[in-house]
């Protein structure tokens, strides 16, 4: 992955973490930068999904889609977001 794309992904995920989670950034194990960013994004998606309520499910779905909308279908983070969206759709129907 090119460095600019990797940096942009990290900036988006970091900004979203600070805005939504508010706590310190998670400590990640050493490894290649691509794996670290992917791990961080997956943690972010999980935190957002776990915090979703019927009232916030649509917002969580929008936020997580913002992370992955332009990625290929075989991207691990995109695949997880799609899985979460299915659960979020069920949650949001409960709030309707």
Binned at pLDDT 50, 70 and 90, residue 73 comes out as very high
Tracing tokens 């929008």 back to the chain, one arrives at 62
Token pair recorded at residue 40: 């961080």
Strands (E), 3-89: none
pLDDT tens digits for range 8-49:
999 999 999 999 888 899 999 999 999 999 999 999 999 999
- pLDDT at site 50: 92
Residue 86 structural domain:
3-95
pLDDT of residue 92: 77
pTM comes to: 0.90
Domains identified in the chain, total number: 1
The number of C-alpha atoms within 13 Å of 54 and in the hemisphere containing its C-beta is 5
How many CA atoms, within 13 angstroms, populate the side-chain half-sphere of residue 49? 20
Selected residue with higher pLDDT from 79 and 91: 79
Nearest to 40 by CA among 61, 10, 82: 10
- pLDDT above 70 as % of the chain: 96
């Amino acid at each position: 992955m090119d460095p600019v794309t990797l940096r942009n992904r990290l900036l988006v995920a970091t900004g979203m973490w600070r805005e939504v989670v508010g706590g310190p950034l998670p400590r990640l194990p050493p490894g290649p930068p691509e794996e670290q960013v992917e791990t961080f994004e997956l943690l972010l998606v999980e935190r957002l999904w776990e915090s979703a309520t019927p009232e916030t499910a649509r917002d969580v779905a929008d936020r997580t889609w913002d992370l992955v909308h332009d990625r290929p279908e075989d991207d691990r983070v995109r695949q997880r977001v799609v899985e979460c969206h299915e659960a979020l759709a069920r949650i949001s129907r409960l709030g309707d």
